[in-house]
Structure 1
Amino acid sequence: MSSGTSHDHASTLPPLTAGPHRKRLGFVALIATFGGLLFGYDTGVINGALIPMSEELGLSSFTEGIATSSLIFAAAVGAMLGGRLSDGWGRRKTIILLAVLFFVGTVVVVVTPGLWVLVAGRILLGLAVGGASTVVPVFLAELAPYEIRGSLAGRNELMIVTGQLVAFVVNAIIGNLFGHIDGVWRIMFAICAIPAIALFIGMLRVPESPRWLVDKGRHGEALAVLKTVRSAERAEAEIGDLEQVVAVEDSRQQLGWRAVFSNKNLVKILLIGIGIGVAQQLTGINSIMYFGQTVLIESGFDRSAALIANVAPGVIAVIGAFIALAMMDRVDRRKTFIIGLTLTTTCHLLIGLASMLLPDGNPMRPWVILFLVVAFVGSMQTFLNVAVWVYLSEIFPLHMRGFGMGVAVFVLWVTNGFLSLYFLSLVDAVGINGTFFLFAIVGALALAFVWRFVPETRGRTLEALEEDVTTGAIYLR
């Protein structure tokens, strides 16, 4: 979907052509999505590192929760700060700063003598992860031609799950080859320094967002950047469009929370955005991504087998992301959410039943639970993860988009943080079956919420959506 002016001019813009500029655009996108790769690796690495780390540092279930969730709560703050910083300072400079944060956070975690230095390092990594979760997609969307914006911006989600998969594979290799070495978990974390350095060096060779440059009145620089990633005639035509879009936006005041809360339709769309983000997190997807090894050990795998088995959900997540990207512009958002929540809730029920009906020691138990966990992650990634991020980027009217997206993503991260903090304590208290039955109940409530309140957005321009959201007409369709 494109914003109004470029949509109106879409037919008059020269078509996209092949050539060195297309390769250059691909290179820039690849470098920027290293931010997504780091996001994935840093959130996934704890999965295999947690048990040896806990043994060395003497952590309980609750302090394991603190070590894991400190990154997530910091990411909530990073998501808010990153967007603000990149508006004032530039997308490119902000991503370079995030690369430095990723590196410094990694070093602090690797050399930590105890829990609290570890938490400090995880907080630095969390600020970087949160910043990357908002700034990288914006940078990609602003650099992409409108025809391929969805697939270019969607590459970031693909890189996030690829980063998680890389973390699971690296953990399995290091854990099984060097598991006897004290501090093996430090090696798992240290690997993260490599993409951080690549992101830093790569971003030094990447241009600033032309959209941001025009916004700051630097039109000559913006045209020079566009000419590196478009044909010359397309760049000239697009710069005119950009100048018009920015002029229109300047004439519309950005809405803060007071203005939003004075229009009940804007309040409603904000609550729907928050609800979708919370529903996505309360499926428990990230509990599997962070604590998958622990869940698999609980279900009956031994430690090294659990590390290897853990790679399967990572593989299915990447496959699901590819399918989701292909499906994004063909299937209604509501239908996607309803299918996804139905499947994930069914998987939760079946995991709970399997762990109840197959007693400890039954040779089938670990394999049945692994199969169901893989089915759950596949359903989640194919129908919910990518769709939720796309939906959040399109439902808010332009003049409250920064505020709306910031609030929804902040609440999403905080929900994720509380779940990470208490998940292991919950498994200790009520077992795998109790935990997954709880997820199933929450999933059924989320399904009812989507069915009743969530409006459709696919196949419409952002301006038409904006009009309908502001007047409330979107709820009557």
Structure 2
Amino acid sequence: MHSPSGARQGEPSIIPAVPAEPRPDTGRMTWYVYLAIAVSTLGGLIFGYDTGVAGGAAGFVADDYGLSGFMEGVVVSTSLFGGAIGAMSGGPLGDRYGRRPTLLLSGVLFTIGALLSAAASGLTVLLLSRVLLGAGVGAASVLVPVYIAELAPARIRGALVSGYQLLTTLGIVLAYGVNALFADTQAWRWSLGLAAVPGLLLAGGVLLVPESPRWLVARGRSHTARNVLRRVRGQDDVEAELREIETVHAQEARSSGGWRELNTPWVRPMVLVGVLVAFFANGCGINLVIYFAPQILQSAGMGSSSSLLATVGLGVVNVLFTVVGMALVDRVGRKPLLLAGAAGMTLTLAALAVVMSVPGLPGANGLSFTFLCLYIVMYAVSPGLGAYVVISEIFPLHVRAKATGIATFVIFATNLVIGLTSLPMLDGLGTPTTFWLFTAVCVLFVLFCLRMPETKGRTLEQLEERFRAAAAARGRVPGTGGTHSAR
């Protein structure tokens, strides 16, 4: 018997074992798929650029407006508040109007928000524009992984979905470079305004790519879906894949696709996994490092200019090892990669806490930078990309965008809390205690990874059939003779 979690016999899992034989994946990559993925992953570039630029620009904004440390955190975090709004609205919009129109709206919102941020006449306008910008980021964060997962061949879906995270890391490095470029002049308006460029590229590029064939089937447009599949698969015979999509959709025909469906017994375990992956992948402390790496390194004895250069180095490490993770995610699997990363982050954060706890430790700044690099490596090859891959493929079609929206909302909400509390924690509790707190979160992440299901190597429809059958085995799907109903 084969376990949906990829666990060995006797290993605990959130989802019980269910037999399922995969349909051979005969689809190949075509230029049309490459174009669609290249355009959609620009959503990751705008996310990464805003994440990276906010921390550097916020210091200059604080100087101009005389802001406290808390208000500086507010400037950083307002886009995350907007992202949470965009995440919750992006799913329903994507379900109702399609993946393409919602991605177009995302690019437009981000572009307008970036331009308004650059031209802001006061703090209030700046904060509101960053909420608007964040709404565009949040909607893209929901729809880009879903869109790519619904287009990509199953055998390389993980690598292609993780392209979103690769562009996110590139955006962070680009933002670090822009911050360094304008550091002497403190021209934060240019730093924020340049974000409009990738926003425009996303909005314009979406007009060139197809709609998701799975969304088209859900809307009763199978003929159009067949044509899209032929183009993206590079072959005329797509009937087996189309029938598989239609079969799963027919099974879901009695479902409303509304928010209540997320609480049905066979869907609820998938939502739980997606939400917990989203929380742990961001509650592990990565945004503390991304936003405030210069302050962390300075607390270890590194100079201000050296800490800025070191931060650029951390960004480069993030990009390089994201590529490594992309090469591993479809070979190793999601669960082993996440487990290894969670364990590695636990050890590196604990080591950082120890180094920071010893006053006057020889070589403390070098050790701190080394352990920060190792932490970034563990994050980049594991939850940095693995979380979005799992979130994009674990939810059933009829609630996929909504469930992804909830998981993405958790991402932004977690980052918002971290963005608002990081500076107060570093100032009030001290750097060592702050790192010990995030070490504890990573320990919980390890425990979760031991029980999560594996999603590698199956089509989205096969994954859905597997989880539905698991619920049927427990008597929680209508028509199975069980005592519980999913309706």
TM value normalised by structure 2 = 0.84
2:283 matched to which residue of 1? 282
Alignment match, 1:418: 417
For 1:190, the equivalent position in structure 2 comes to 193
Report the alpha carbon displacement of residue 82 of structure 1 after superposing the two structures with TM: 0.8
Q: Which residue of 2 aligns with 1:247?
A: 250
Task: Confirm or deny that 1:54 pairs with 2:53.
Answer: no
1:224-268 per-position Cα deviation (integer Å, ceiling 9, x unaligned): 4344433341356654554444334324453643x65464x7555
Cα distance change of structure 1 residues 262 and 157 upon mapping to structure 2, 3 Å threshold: closer
Give CA-to-partner distance per residue, 1:124-161, whole Å, 9 cap, x none.
Answer: 11111110111111222222233433332221121111
Residue of structure 1 equivalent to 2:375: 376
| Percent sequence identity over aligned pairs | 34
1:201 is matched with which residue?
A: 204
Q: Does 1:151 align with 2:154?
A: no
Pair 387,472 (structure 1): closer, same or farther in 2 beyond 3 Å: farther
Equivalent residue, structure 2, for 1:393:
392
The answer (yes or no) to whether the contact 1:332–1:456 under 8 Å persists in 2 is yes
Determine which of 67, 82, 85 is the counterpart of 2:90: 82
Aligned-pair Cα RMSD in Å: 2.8
Residue 141 of structure 1: aligned partner: 149
Is 2:129 aligned against 1:128?
no
Instruction: Return closer, same or farther for 1:363/1:406 CA change in 2, 3 Å cut-off.
Output: same
Q: 1:145 and 1:458 mapped to 2: Cα distance? A: 12
The alpha-carbon deviation at position 421 of structure 1 amounts to 0.6
SS in 2 for 1:59: coil
Q: Find the partner of 2:107 among 89, 94, 99.
A: 99
- What CA distance in whole angstroms lies between the structure 2 residues aligned with 1:458 and 1:145? 12
Q: Which has the higher helix share?
A: 1
Partner of 2:343: 342
Larger mean CA deviation between 24-33 and 80-89 belongs to 24-33
Which deviates further from its counterpart, 130-139 or 366-375? 366-375
Residue of 452, 467, 470 corresponding to 1:468: 470
Structure 1: gaps spanning 5 or more residues: 2-6
Cross-structure match for 1:454: 452
**More deviation in 402-411 or 75-84?**
402-411
Match of 2:405 in 1: 406
Structure 1 residue 285, shift from structure 2 partner: 0.4
Task: Report the alpha carbon displacement of residue 396 of structure 1 after superposing the two structures with TM.
Answer: 4.0
1:472–1:431 Cα change, 3 Å: farther
1:328-347 C-alpha deviation (Å, 9 max, x unpaired) = 23335443333222211211
Looking at structure 2, the residues matched to 90 and 330 of structure 1 have their Cα atoms a distance apart, in angstroms, of 31
The farther-off stretch of 96-105 and 219-228 is: 219-228
Whether the 8 Å CA contact 1:168–1:311 is kept in 2: the answer is yes
What's the CA shift string for 1:394-435, capped at 9, x where partnerless? 444555544443333322321221111110011110221121
Letter in 2 for 1:432: T
Does residue 364 of structure 1 match 2:363?
A: yes
The answer to whether the 8 Å contact 2:89/2:405 transfers is no
The change in CA–CA distance for 1:57 and 1:301 in structure 2 (over 3 A counts) is farther
**Partner secondary structure for residue 252 of structure 2:** helix
SS of residue matched to 2:430:
helix
CA contact (8 A) 1:47 1:168 kept: no
* 3-state secondary structure, aligned to 1:454: coil
Q: Determine if the alignment matches structure 1 residue 435 to structure 2 residue 434.
A: yes
C-alpha distance in structure 2 between counterparts of 1:31 and 1:389, whole Å: 17
Question: Residues 9 and 241 of structure 1 are in contact (CA less than 8 Å); yes or no, is this contact kept in structure 2?
Answer: no
Query: Is residue 163 of structure 2 the alignment partner of residue 164 of structure 1?
Result: no
**Alignment partner of 1:208: what SS?**
coil
Match of 2:225 among 222, 231, 237: 222
When residues 29 and 445 of structure 1 are mapped into structure 2, their CA distance, relative to the original with a 3 A threshold, is closer
Deviations 1:270-306 (A, max 9, x none): 4443333222222110111122223233333333322
Mean alpha-carbon deviation: is it higher for 438-447 or for 76-85? 438-447
The alpha-carbon deviation at position 471 of structure 1 amounts to 4.4
- Work out whether residues 107 and 200 of structure 2, in 8 Å CA contact, stay in contact via their aligned partners in 1: yes
Q: Secondary structure at the match of 1:329?
A: helix
Residue type of the alignment partner of 1:365: A
Give secondary structure in 1 for the equivalent of 2:216: helix
User: How high is the TM-score relative to the length of structure 1?
Assistant: 0.86
Distance change >3 Å, CA 327–CA 368, structure 1 → 2: same
In 1, Cα distance between equivalents of 2:469 and 2:437 = 39
Correspondences of 1:208-357 after superposition (within 5 Å): 208-235=211-238, 238-254=241-257, 256-257=259-260, 261=263, 263=265, 267=268, 269-357=270-358
**What one-letter code is carried by the residue in structure 1 that aligns with 2:86?**
G
Change in CA separation of 1:471 and 1:287 when aligned onto 2, cut-off 3 Å: farther
Q: Cα deviation per residue 1:7-65 (whole Å; 9 max; x = unaligned)?
A: 98944x8x4467xxx12321221112111111111111113222222111211111011
Letter of the 1:330 counterpart:
R
Q: Deviations over 1:377-397 (max 9, x none)?
A: 111111222222223334445
The answer as to whether partners of 1:172 and 1:304 remain within 8 angstroms in 2 is no
More displaced 10-residue stretch of structure 1: 243-252 or 134-143: 243-252
C-alpha separation in 2, matches of 1:39 and 1:195: 10
Corresponding residue number in structure 2 for 1:4: none
Cα distance, 1:99 vs. partner? Answer: 1.1
Alignment-derived partner of residue 118 in structure 2: 110
Q: Name the SS for the 1:45 alignment partner.
A: helix
1:402–1:468 distance in 2 versus 1, CA, 3 Å: farther
| Alpha-carbon separation, structure 2, partners of 1:364 and 1:94 | 50
> Match of 2:332, SS?
coil
Partner deviation per Cα, 1:92-122 (whole Å, 9 max, x = no partner): 1111111111111101111223322221111
* Partner amino acid, structure 2, of 1:276: V
Q: Answer whether contact 1:269 1:469 (CA < 8 A) is retained.
A: no
Residue identity in the other structure for 1:417: L
Structure 2: distance between partners of 1:455 and 1:10:
20
**Matched-pair contact (CA < 8 Å) for 2:28–2:234:** yes
